Every structure is written in C-alpha cells, then in structure tokens.
Amino acid sequence: MILVTGGAKGITAKCALALSWAVGAKMALVGSTPLKVFESDDRDHDSIHQLLREYEKQGLTARYYSCDVCDRNAVARTVKLIQNEMGPITGVIHGAGHNLPRRFYQVSPEDALKEVGPKVVGMLNLLAELGKQPPRRIVGLTSIIGITGMQGNGWYAFSNEALDLILRRFAARHPETRTLSVAYSIWRDEGMGARLGSVKALSKKGIDAIPTDEGVQRFVRLFLSKPGTHQVLVTARILQLDTLGKPAMLPFKGARFLEKRVLFFSVSNPLFSST
C-alpha cells in the first residue's frame, strides 16, 4: 500500500492513479482539504470525489484522509489510521507543496515557514513516524527550480532542494529504503505552473511544457526502476535558463550572412549533458 501526500489534486493525483493502475497498489491519498461525506458545490471537494470514483471505475482501491502534514500529532494519528484500515505502508509519494511567487524581501519569516512547510516539515513529520517501519520506496515530487533556481521563487527552490537532501539522509540511515527525487519542469495542463499561467510566459523564453501523459509515464517508469542516481530531472525542451547564464558564442570571421545572431544553442551545459 502506498501513502500519497497531495495525492488528490494536480500532478501527484495523475501520477498516483497511473501507478496504482500499473501495479494494482492500494493508495492512501492524504490531503489538507477536509472531505465531507456528501458531495458539495465546492470545487475542491468535488474534484476529490471525482478522483475516488475514477479509482473505483478502474477497479482500484483508494481512500482519502484529511491531514495537515505540518502537524506532527496529526501525521502520527493519520499514519496509524491508514495502517489500521489499509495495512502496512510499503511506499510513499510525497507531492504536497506550496508556492507563492514573490521576492525574498516581500516574505516574512512566518510566510516563509508556511510556504516551505508542506514539502519540508511535512516530509520530516512523515519520516519521523515511518522510521519505525521504513517503507521500501519513497519518491519525492520536486521541481527543476530546486536545482536551477528561478526569479521570485526563492523559498520554493529552497523547499525542493531541502526535500532532496532529507530523502538522501533518510536513505543513508535506512538502507532498506530506496529514495528518489523526481524534479520536473513545468507541465502543460497540471500543477502550480499551469494554474499560475506560466506556460505561455516560459514558452516565450524557450522553455516548453511537459505533456501530462508523458510526465505521468516518466513518473511510473522511475518509481518502478532503479535510475542509478538519487535525483532525476524531467523536462520538455529547454533552450536556456536565465539562472544558468548564457554561453558565449565564438566569433565568426569571414563568414557571410552570419553577422547577426538569430539563435544560439549550446549543448555543453552540464545540467543537460548526456555524459
């Protein structure tokens, strides 16, 4: 049975459903939204009910548990309830997260903690409880921003990098558990970037969005395999990232029609090197 934080919405919901279908695993979907017994007009509640119906339609087993993962006691109670109702937790997908783009100087210490809480504090709380019976597999859904940074996303970058380091430390202390960070770039139709309207803006900079089907397939493949590294970066086409700087173009001498540079793309960037 796999515990999934943030598993009722967005990218995490799509990936968890596909993984459940691929291996027939039961899913304990953990989210911050309290779920009412009956459907309501509230969009959040309705989307959760729709997801649970999709699991049922495909002959799969999933239950939803409301929990603030930043609350240590709530996490302990929820983990115990899940184990009692669904059995031992053998895998974890940590997709909970929060991002509110703004400059560092616009963020108070309280707001910073609130932003990094679900991804960092939530994972620490979960691992503190699961360390008693370590699962076989833990995968954190992270972001390319944790590797490259992004203007106006400093705290989100911090939380993603911190999550990767937390998982590495847990694996070192619990060698029976395989951990992995899957760092995605922006998705076309799902996730925070799509909701914030960033797809078009990034496309103008030469950063394409990941199609949902492709992103989901890559996740399932990575969850079930041993990629040989702890952190895997999954992106669509990226010409250049501002935070990595622009490579210098060697001057052309005596070449007609090349006086004006229209587009220059270097494959020597170590982030995207295949070697």
* Residues in the chain with pLDDT values less than 50: 38-39, 268-270, 272-275
Q: How far is 225 from 208, CA to CA, in rounded Å?
A: 26
Query: Which residue in 157, 79, 91, 62 sits closest to 119, CA to CA?
Result: 157
pLDDT of residue 200: 75
Residue 275, both tokens: 């070697």
pLDDT of residue 242: 64
Read off the pLDDT of residues 65-81 as tens digits, 9 standing for 90 and up: 999 999 999 999 999 99
pLDDT of residue 129: 95
Read off the pLDDT of residues 149-176 as tens digits, 9 standing for 90 and up: 887 888 999 999 999 999 999 999 999 9
CA dihedral over 183, 245, 99, 169, signed as positive or negative: positive
Three-class SS state of 197: coil
User: Could you tell me the domains of the chain?
Assistant: 2-246 (3.40.50.720)
| Residues β-bridged to residue 225 | none
Q: What is the pTM of this model?
A: 0.83
pLDDT of residue 52: 95
